[in-house]
A and B are shown apart, each in its own frame.
Chain A
Amino acid sequence: MNYLGRRLIRTVLLLVGVSVLCFLFTEMAPGSFFDDMRVNPQISPETIAMLRSHYGLDQPLIVRYGRWVKSALHADLGYSIAYNVPVAPLLWGRAQNTLLLSVTAMLLTWLIAVPLGVWTAARRGKALDKTTSIGVSLLVAIPEVVIAVALLAIAVRWRVLPIGGMKSEDLDGLPLWVRIKDIAEHMLLPVIVLTLVDSALVVRHVRAAVLEILEAPFVQATRGFGISRSRVLFRHVLPAAANPAISLFGLSLAGLLSGSLLVEVICGWPGLGPLILDATLSRDFYMVVGGIMVSTIFMLGGNLIADIVLTVIDPRIRTGAPDAL
């Protein structure tokens, strides 16, 4: 079986494994959605038992898992007890908001971080490299929560950006560009936080990868021929340094749905973050499972895409060459 076939089978097995663990751990977590109802004297135990039966929560875990798998294969991820609607459409609506935020941040991150990483590596030890290294170290050391709260505080103090939500009220009837501008203004703060945090990581990895290749004997040998620096960089260094960067890009794709959850909660962006947090706190079983599974699909899909790209650009991975860089 070829490399991609093996990779696909592994992905499906991982998905099954995550779904089993997700069901198991969510079930094992203390409390349930109906705990609040139990302390309410106006709701009888019979009513609660009826509701549990209605949502299928009175069935054994294995039965519930079997039913869920069967419906999940038809894109039905169960029913939200808290919202009283099917999980999948609710998740998809919020996932679109999350993707708008995270895809924008990811594009900005890679557009800024890759040239900066290559540039600083090519000018190792110079002022630009030192300044960038200090900035990157600070950004890596400071938790994204702190950066988000600090920028939020600045935005509130100076009233430079709208805080919370995705758009202003009373925008109906206004031209399209005004609505787009309004969403862009609301996005700016969480996008800046995500871009700063992710860029620091990508700059570090790209710089390290390029530096490693610049020190490689085959690059030294090439320099000895008198070949121009730009040809050495573009023909030898960047293709060789691309592998770790592509793997990292796969992780970026993988984190599109899960990477921004905390920032969404802090900045009040109506994405998957606040939805999954609320679902977890209220023990909304199928919403929690659905949210985790959608994030997992993105995670595995991102890694799979990165692996496919790597096999396309580097045939040694297909053949399993031991000294593939």
Chain B
Amino acid sequence: MPSSLTTDVSSSNPLLRVKALCKHYVRGHVWKKRVSIQAINQVNFEIAAGHTLALVGTSGSGKSTVARCITRLERPETGHIWIEGTDIARLGSRELSPFRRAIQMIFQDAITSMNPRFSAAEVIEEPLLIQGRSRAERREIAEALIQDVALSPGWLDRSVMEFSGGQRQRLAIARALTLQPRLLVLDEALSGLDLSTQAQIANLLLDLQSKRCLTYLLISHEMGLVARMADTVAVMANGQIVESGDLEQVLTDPQHMETKNLLASVKVTELKLAAGAPS
């Protein structure tokens, strides 16, 4: 049964464990017939601390819904989301607050994911407001973070509108790191960038992962990027995980048609190069 597939990450104590996650949306209104759309159905996976799981699939396969459920921007109807042993799937907003810090999301479009009226400093410092940090502390943290993502602290007072696409994505990473999360959900975070910038940001994310022991849920449809960053892969189709396993296993011996179709769009040599394997 595809619905019961899990990744091959065998960890006794995974950072994130998702079990039987379901989410549906209802479309329609008083004048139009209401239709229920099952966005994700019985999704199971887990990620060990410090590892990267790539959730891949075509548009509409349910990847982003999984991301929104895990970050609790959406409330799943059924299923469990254990983060470091605590199920956050049913928590109310008050109980959820400490776990929000542990999971941060980086959106595909860095331009629209920041308030265009804010300066870079305001963007990075805002999450710290809920911790009641002083102005000086917030500034100090922002200066350190902006350097971590290879931007100049002198740019903190610039409006976010003055940054380029790649710089804004770095800014988004800095903002996500403000609350010292354990898990970063990268929802097509590198998709809109040119190849050179994409490679730079991917390197930055890999560096940050090794320095801060971050865990990534990489959501992407670009197999080249997945080959470069992921440890394990789960393939989604029609709201379900249809295949999962170690990166090499999925790339070299795909079982499901969906995986084969995704791989068919990328040359094998490119994948091997991206993964660092000899061609």
Binding site for B on A (CB under 8 A): 130, 216-218, 220-229, 231, 236, 239-240, 314, 316, 321, 323-325
User: Which listed residue, B73, B101, B109, B117, touches A223 by the CB 8 Å rule?
Assistant: B73
Q: With contacts A226-B97, A323-B161 known, is A217 near B112, CB below 8 A?
A: yes
Complex Cα–Cα for A218 and B175 (A): 12
B48 at the interface (CB under 8 A from A): no
Cβ-defined contact, A226 with B101, below 8 A: yes
A residues near B255, Cβ cutoff 8 Å: none
Which residue of A218, A228, A236, A321 has the most chain B CB atoms within 10 A of its CB atom? Answer: A218
User: Which listed residue, A218, A225, A229, A325, touches B113 by the CB 8 Å rule?
Assistant: A218
Residue of B nearest to A321 (CB): B161
Cβ-defined contact, A130 with B129, below 8 A: no
Cβ-defined contact, A316 with B100, below 8 A: no
For the A-B complex, the count of residue pairs with Cβ-Cβ distances under 8 Å equals 64
User: Which listed residue, B103, B113, B161, B179, touches A221 by the CB 8 Å rule?
Assistant: B113
B residues near A218, Cβ cutoff 8 Å: 112-116
18 contacts between A and B (CB under 8 A): A130-B30, A218-B115, A220-B73, A221-B113, A221-B114, A221-B175, A222-B126, A225-B100, A225-B127, A227-B126, A227-B129, A228-B130, A236-B115, A239-B117, A316-B116, A316-B117, A316-B161, A323-B161
A248 to chain B, nearest CB (A): 20
Residue of B nearest to A213 (CB): B115
B residues near A224, Cβ cutoff 8 Å: 71, 73, 100, 103-105
B5 at the interface (CB under 8 A from A): no
B111 at the interface (CB under 8 A from A): yes
Cβ-defined contact, B116 with A325, below 8 A: yes
Q: Besides the contacts A224-B73, A225-B104, A227-B126, what 20 more A-B pairs have beta carbons closer than 8 Å? A: A216-B112, A217-B112, A218-B115, A220-B73, A221-B107, A221-B113, A222-B126, A224-B71, A225-B127, A226-B100, A226-B101, A227-B129, A231-B129, A236-B115, A239-B117, A240-B115, A240-B117, A314-B117, A316-B117, A321-B161
A7 to chain B, nearest CB (A): 22
Residue of A nearest to B105 (CB): A224
- Which residues of B in the span 90-130 have a Cβ within 8 Å of any Cβ on A? 93, 96-97, 100-101, 103-105, 107, 109, 111-117, 126-127, 129-130
Q: With contacts A130-B30, A236-B115, A314-B117 known, is A225 near B73, CB below 8 A?
A: no
Cβ-defined contact, A226 with B116, below 8 A: no
Residue of B nearest to A134 (CB): B30
Complex Cα–Cα for A236 and B130 (A): 15
- Which residues of B in the span 155-204 have a Cβ within 8 Å of any Cβ on A? 161, 172, 175, 179
Which A-B residue pairs are the 4 nearest by beta carbons?
Answer: A226-B100, A225-B127, A217-B113, A226-B97
A218 to chain B, nearest CB (A): 5
Complex Cα–Cα for A270 and B115 (A): 49
B residues near A239, Cβ cutoff 8 Å: 117
A residues near B93, Cβ cutoff 8 Å: 229
Cβ-defined contact, A323 with B111, below 8 A: yes
A residues near B109, Cβ cutoff 8 Å: 217
Cβ-defined contact, B130 with A225, below 8 A: yes
A164 to chain B, nearest CB (A): 40
Complex Cα–Cα for A239 and B115 (A): 10
B124 to chain A, nearest CB (A): 11
Cβ-defined contact, B100 with A323, below 8 A: no
A242 to chain B, nearest CB (A): 10
Complex Cα–Cα for A220 and B73 (A): 7
B residues near A228, Cβ cutoff 8 Å: 130
A311 to chain B, nearest CB (A): 14
A residues near B130, Cβ cutoff 8 Å: 225-228
B residues near A321, Cβ cutoff 8 Å: 116, 161
A314 to chain B, nearest CB (A): 7
Residue of A nearest to B104 (CB): A224
A residues near B117, Cβ cutoff 8 Å: 239-240, 314, 316
Complex Cα–Cα for A231 and B105 (A): 20
Complex Cα–Cα for A253 and B112 (A): 32
Complex Cα–Cα for A236 and B112 (A): 13
A residues near B96, Cβ cutoff 8 Å: 226
Residue of A nearest to B178 (CB): A225
User: Which listed residue, B112, B116, B179, touches A324 by the CB 8 Å rule?
Assistant: B116
Complex Cα–Cα for A240 and B115 (A): 8
B3 to chain A, nearest CB (A): 28
B99 to chain A, nearest CB (A): 8
Complex Cα–Cα for A184 and B268 (A): 81
B108 to chain A, nearest CB (A): 8
A residues near B101, Cβ cutoff 8 Å: 225-226
A132 to chain B, nearest CB (A): 13
Complex Cα–Cα for A225 and B161 (A): 22
Complex Cα–Cα for A224 and B130 (A): 12
B residues near A217, Cβ cutoff 8 Å: 107, 109, 112-113
Complex Cα–Cα for A228 and B100 (A): 12
